[in-house]
Amino acid sequence: MAKEITERGENYSQWYNDIVKKAGLAENSAVRGCMVIKPYGYAIWEKMRDQLDKMFKDTGHVNAYFPLFVPKSLFEAEEKNAEGFAKECAVVTHYRLKNDPDNAGKLIIDPEAKLEEELIVRPTSEAIIWNTYRDWIQSYRDLPILINQWANVVRWEMRTRPFLRTAEFLWQEGHTAHASKEDAIKEARQMHDVYAAFAEEYMAMPVIKGFKSESERFAGADDTFTIEALMQDGKALQAGTSHFLGQNFAKAFNVTFSNDRNENEYVWATSWGVSTRLIGGLIMTHSDDDGLVLPPKLAPIQVVIVPIPKPDPALTEKAEAIADALKSLGISVKIDTDESKRPGFKFAEYEMKGVPVRLGLGMRDLENNTIEVARRDTKEKMSVDLDIIVPYVEQLLEDIQQNLFSRAQSYRDEHVTRVENFEAFKDVIENKGGFVLAHWDGTPETEDKIKEETKATIRCIPIDAPEESGHCVYSGKPSNRRVLFAKAY
Amino acid sequence: MAKEITERGENYSQWYNDIVKKAGLAENSAVRGCMVIKPYGYAIWEKMRDQLDKMFKDTGHVNAYFPLFVPKSLFEAEEKNAEGFAKECAVVTHYRLKNDPDNAGKLIIDPEAKLEEELIVRPTSEAIIWNTYRDWIQSYRDLPILINQWANVVRWEMRTRPFLRTAEFLWQEGHTAHASKEDAIKEARQMHDVYAAFAEEYMAMPVIKGFKSESERFAGADDTFTIEALMQDGKALQAGTSHFLGQNFAKAFNVTFSNDRNENEYVWATSWGVSTRLIGGLIMTHSDDDGLVLPPKLAPIQVVIVPIPKPDPALTEKAEAIADALKSLGISVKIDTDESKRPGFKFAEYEMKGVPVRLGLGMRDLENNTIEVARRDTKEKMSVDLDIIVPYVEQLLEDIQQNLFSRAQSYRDEHVTRVENFEAFKDVIENKGGFVLAHWDGTPETEDKIKEETKATIRCIPIDAPEESGHCVYSGKPSNRRVLFAKAY
């Protein structure tokens, strides 16, 4: 297989698109901005979803399902939220087609089947869910409600890219209801922690935890917690957000409860979500010029065994014995018995697909009681004694997971730059890339101007940022801590 | 807790609605015909989905995801399919809202954001998928394609009922592509078998396997295989269908492949699906006047332990030991430590929710080294030695699963009636209910007239129906086997 993808250094954006295509992850569809998630891409999403779902359930959440459509009158009830999403809404106006009288075999909208009220295809579900919660909540005994939903949502974005920004995407959205502000904030922070743990422990993608400036908050939130990752081109990716919604939705939908002193109060809310966008982050954190690189914990195939030069009963028998032993440890293994392709072609294919460990087994190996082990992350090859191959591979998968995280963390750490003035700020953003830690005067006006001049936005105010006196890099006004800027996806 | 649900004998339809509501399975939403699937209902769907997903993967299928929207020009390409769904399509016509200039805080459709081509919210995905398969298939080496999708679909039905018929529902749809007619038919029959096995072994719901008459086929199919179950009111429920689609979609979307003789051929197709409708079938197969009855294999909570009269350290400690031992066998257990409710209330609540086994543990039980076991299916109570409670419960869950199936099968078998003339036909359909096995002349005209006069439709032509000479109950014309009629949901 010839080198089929553009090199990162040559054209990063094309490199990304090439990997999405050549690794069989996704492709564009006939619907503008909507992608087809192909089986291999979807298998990665299944691994992510199953792990996240477990983490949500371990923290007391249950799943439910709410309608795809939001009546316009509900959609507009929480004004900030509505304003934030109004410009990118797919709207259903009719519920029937009929034969086109002028065009045999063609269909047209039946004008008599116009809906009395338009339906918005959910861009997010706060409105439909809080309208439902009103009937579920009377007393503090009904709280908290800890619900998550796995669903598709639609945001009619003008510029789309597979996984990173698509008109339809898959996600989960948690929507919780609480009796006190403290409980709601605690929940929002807990899910923020869950997202950070998932990103780092499973995706091997280091993240910076922080909260958003007012202008970058979710529309309708009082506070937005975010995890921000760094891609290899020096741009940031917002990978997951958890929102403290205050009583905004409770007020918009009149959701009150009787507290333990028998007084009526508005309910406190959170929402939190991650999406198929994470797959984009996964690709851009680890992959290289030979294709996708996957952390073992999220790889649909963790180990592939390739008989060399081709399948043969003796080789296949040994391969199956190894595969069975690995599977019994919960490791996913594929034996490639395709006789129509040569080993070199297969090697390149599994590299493209990011399979973490490849085992090559030939007749000479059998005679020597060895097997060739290739790791995808470093491309190193080792000859390993067959007697210890199973524990060796088990350990190697852990090492690869760890190495990917360390490597990404080193890169990220090298790309967090402290600057003291706007010249240096612009220089780093323009030339070095990555995150910039700089003082900011806290005003949206300064934030806007910095964005206008550099395209960098405030990614977050890091949660662990120490108090530190200084002066805003842009306005020179006093500031008491640094915030994190970057250009972002 | 007072008897809260209508009795079956009094008003079957109301009884069903009451269970859906009181067991916390689902409720109507603000969107006409769309339901909210509540956490307990969704937990049942998760159990179903996980088991079906395993069965699909065990038969070689992989999951993928295709867009929610179908451009109208693709939707209308396969004419029969388009005609079958055109009357119940939700149609997206615009992609943006704007502020209503006449009404502060309100939104209206932005007329400038009208789509050039309308988008249909998928009622089923053959069109979008076969339009995609065209690019995936060149040679016989690319076949078969064995893909399944878990998704939401929308069919704008005029009369809806929770689970049984809703405007939006959750389902899976398999879409496979094959190099030969035989392979495609084999696949359609295989999935038909998978559905029947799932219905009987997991849902404990006996089904009759057969194929549909031409007028009852899926729009666009050459053959539709179905599993038909019988509800307690004597009406049939179509519980799952698997379609042999011939080359209809390949022709509509020009999907061809080069066969092993290097000739170009149209690809052969199947599709198959089951939906949240199965939950409706589950409810109506087993439940009683005290509420939901669930087969253990699909019960989110299989065993509940209730300390009597209220939680106490000694009781809770023993309950936890039992729960741990049961959980280690893969049994899901809840200990109800709520102190605000009395045992009688809790008993009624778990009966309403269909928890298969309830264990009541009081101080006197502890002294006697016994525990009270109540099974939901028969409502029997037994005092069981604490030393054997774990294997006892394990066996009991199997017995309940088996008993529910046997009970449903007996009921079903008693309600399959052979009739020889139309008077008897009408009498059974009207008074006894259930399935009628009768001779039919094979014409859609007769089928229509029978439907018009009795509301009974041909549910299927049973696969195992023996050849048998006879005369059509309606027309008297010759027939060579009996087909299955019933009134249906």
Predicted confidence (pLDDT) per residue in A73-98, tens digit:
999 999 999 999 999 999 999 999 99
| Residues B246 and B164 reside in one and the same domain | yes
- Domain that includes residue B420, residue range: 416-486
Return mean pLDDT, chain A: 97
Average pLDDT value for residue range B80-101: 96
What is the number of structural domains in chain B? 3
User: Any chain B CB within 8 A of the CB of A64?
Assistant: yes
Give the pLDDT score at B1: 45
Instruction: Please report the residues numbered 211 through 270 in chain B whose beta carbons come closer than 8 angstroms to any beta carbon of chain A.
Output: none
Instruction: Tell me the helix, strand and coil percentages in chain A, rounded to 5.
Output: 40, 30, 35
Band of the pLDDT at A311, cuts 50, 70, 90? Answer: confident
Instruction: Please report the residues numbered 76 through 105 in chain B whose beta carbons come closer than 8 angstroms to any beta carbon of chain A.
Output: 76, 79, 82, 86-99, 105
| Residues A273 and A370 reside in one and the same domain | no
* pLDDT tens digits, A136-158: 999 999 999 999 999 999 999 98
| Residues B31 and B64 reside in one and the same domain | yes
Residue B181 covered by a domain? yes
Return mean pLDDT, chain B: 97
Task: Spell out a b/e string for A240-277, using b for 16 or more CB atoms within 10 Å of the CB, else e.
Answer: bbbbbbbbbbbebbebbbeeeeeeeebbbbbbbbbbbb
Average pLDDT value for residue range A410-439: 98
| Residues B266 and B173 reside in one and the same domain | yes
A-B contacts (CB, under 8 Å): 191
| Residues A282 and A193 reside in one and the same domain | yes
User: Any chain B CB within 8 A of the CB of A39?
Assistant: yes
Please identify which residue in the block is written with the tokens 């004597």: B234
- B363: domain CATH number is 3.40.50.800
Give the pLDDT score at B465: 86
| Residues B237 and B153 reside in one and the same domain | yes
Residue A451 covered by a domain? yes
Q: Does position A267 have pLDDT exceeding 60, yes or no?
A: yes
Q: Does position B2 have pLDDT exceeding 80, yes or no?
A: no
Band of the pLDDT at A1, cuts 50, 70, 90? Answer: very low
Which candidate in A47, A50, A85, A95 is best for mutational testing of the B interface (most B CBs within 10 A)? A95
Task: Spell out a b/e string for A54-73, using b for 16 or more CB atoms within 10 Å of the CB, else e.
Answer: ebbeeeebbbbbbbbbbbbe
User: Any chain B CB within 8 A of the CB of A363?
Assistant: no
CB contact under 8 A, B30 and A86: no
With beta carbons less than 8 A apart as the criterion, state whether B179 and B257 touch.
yes
- B192: domain CATH number is 3.30.930.10
The dihedral over CA atoms of B306, B307, B308, B312, expressed in degrees to the nearest 10, equals -160
The partner residue sitting opposite A93, judged by closest CB among B31, B35, B91, is B91
CB contact under 8 A, B93 and A93: yes
With beta carbons less than 8 A apart as the criterion, state whether B383 and B360 touch.
no
CB contact under 8 A, A121 and B121: yes
Q: Does position B243 have pLDDT exceeding 50, yes or no?
A: yes
CB contact under 8 A, B74 and A107: no
* pLDDT tens digits, A425-443: 999 999 999 999 999 999 9
Which candidate in B107, B109, B126, B159 is best for mutational testing of the A interface (most A CBs within 10 A)? B107
Name, in order, each residue with C-beta under 8 angstroms of B48's C-beta and a sequence gap of 6 or more: B198, B202, B203, B278, B279, B298
User: Any chain B CB within 8 A of the CB of A56?
Assistant: no
Residue B351 covered by a domain? yes
* pTM, entire model: 0.97
Answer with the one of A233, A264, A286 that is the final residue of a domain.
Answer: A286
| Residues A304 and A325 reside in one and the same domain | yes
Alpha-carbon dihedral sign for residues A210, A211, A213, A215 = positive
Residue B81 covered by a domain? no
Residue A38 covered by a domain? yes
Give the pLDDT score at A3: 60
Name, in order, each residue with C-beta under 8 angstroms of A245's C-beta and a sequence gap of 6 or more: A126, A184, A220, A221, A222, A268, A269, A270, A271
Q: Does position A2 have pLDDT exceeding 60, yes or no?
A: no
Q: Does position B32 have pLDDT exceeding 50, yes or no?
A: yes
Instruction: Please report the residues numbered 140 through 169 in chain A whose beta carbons come closer than 8 angstroms to any beta carbon of chain B.
Output: 141, 147, 151-152, 154, 156, 168
| Residues B33 and B172 reside in one and the same domain | yes
Instruction: Please report the residues numbered 334 through 353 in chain B whose beta carbons come closer than 8 angstroms to any beta carbon of chain A.
Output: 340
DSSP state of B432: I
Band of the pLDDT at A23, cuts 50, 70, 90? Answer: very high
Give the pLDDT score at A465: 86
Q: In what order do the strands lie in the sheet with A357-362?
A: A333-335, A303-308, A357-362, A370-375, A381-385
| Rounded Cα–Cα distance for residues B47 and A110 (Å) | 40
With beta carbons less than 8 A apart as the criterion, state whether A163 and A20 touch.
yes
| Residues B274 and B382 reside in one and the same domain | no
Give the pLDDT score at B4: 83
The partner residue sitting opposite B95, judged by closest CB among A30, A66, A89, is A89
- DSSP string across A230-296: E-TTS-EEEEEEEEEEETHHHHHTT-EEE-TTS-EEEPEEEEEEEETHHHHHHHHHH-BTTB----G
> Cα–chain-centroid distance for residue B223?
20
In chain B, residues with a C-beta closer than 8 Å to the C-beta of A92 are 90-93, 121
In chain B, residues with a C-beta closer than 8 Å to the C-beta of A30 are 67, 71, 74, 128, 131-132
Residue B453 covered by a domain? yes
> Cα–chain-centroid distance for residue B328?
30
| Residues A401 and A377 reside in one and the same domain | yes
Q: Å from A15 to nearest chain B CA?
A: 22
CB contact under 8 A, A36 and B67: yes
In three-state secondary structure terms, A173 is strand
The partner residue sitting opposite A69, judged by closest CB among B34, B79, B86, is B34
Q: Does position B485 have pLDDT exceeding 80, yes or no?
A: yes
* pLDDT tens digits, B216-242: 999 999 999 999 999 999 999 999 999
Alpha-carbon dihedral sign for residues A212, A217, A222, A227 = negative
With beta carbons less than 8 A apart as the criterion, state whether B98 and B108 touch.
yes
| Rounded Cα–Cα distance for residues B234 and B12 (Å) | 11
* pLDDT tens digits, B103-147: 998 999 999 999 999 999 999 999 999 999 999 999 999 999 999
Please identify which residue in the block is written with the tokens 């039919």: B440
In chain A, residues with a C-beta closer than 8 Å to the C-beta of B93 are 91-94, 109
Answer with the one of A361, A392, A411 that is the final residue of a domain.
Answer: A411
| Residues A142 and A263 reside in one and the same domain | yes
| Residues B389 and B425 reside in one and the same domain | no
Give the pLDDT score at B311: 87
The partner residue sitting opposite B91, judged by closest CB among A82, A92, A99, is A92
Q: Å from A253 to nearest chain B CA?
A: 13
In chain B, residues with a C-beta closer than 8 Å to the C-beta of A163 are none
CB contact under 8 A, B88 and A67: no
Nearest CA in chain A to B87: A96
The partner residue sitting opposite B82, judged by closest CB among A67, A93, A107, is A107
Residue B405 covered by a domain? no
The partner residue sitting opposite A91, judged by closest CB among B30, B64, B97, is B97
Band of the pLDDT at B410, cuts 50, 70, 90? Answer: very high
Q: β-strands A381-385, A370-375: how paired? A: antiparallel
- B468: domain CATH number is 3.30.110.30
Answer with the one of A286, A321, A351 that is the final residue of a domain.
Answer: A286
Residue B2 covered by a domain? no
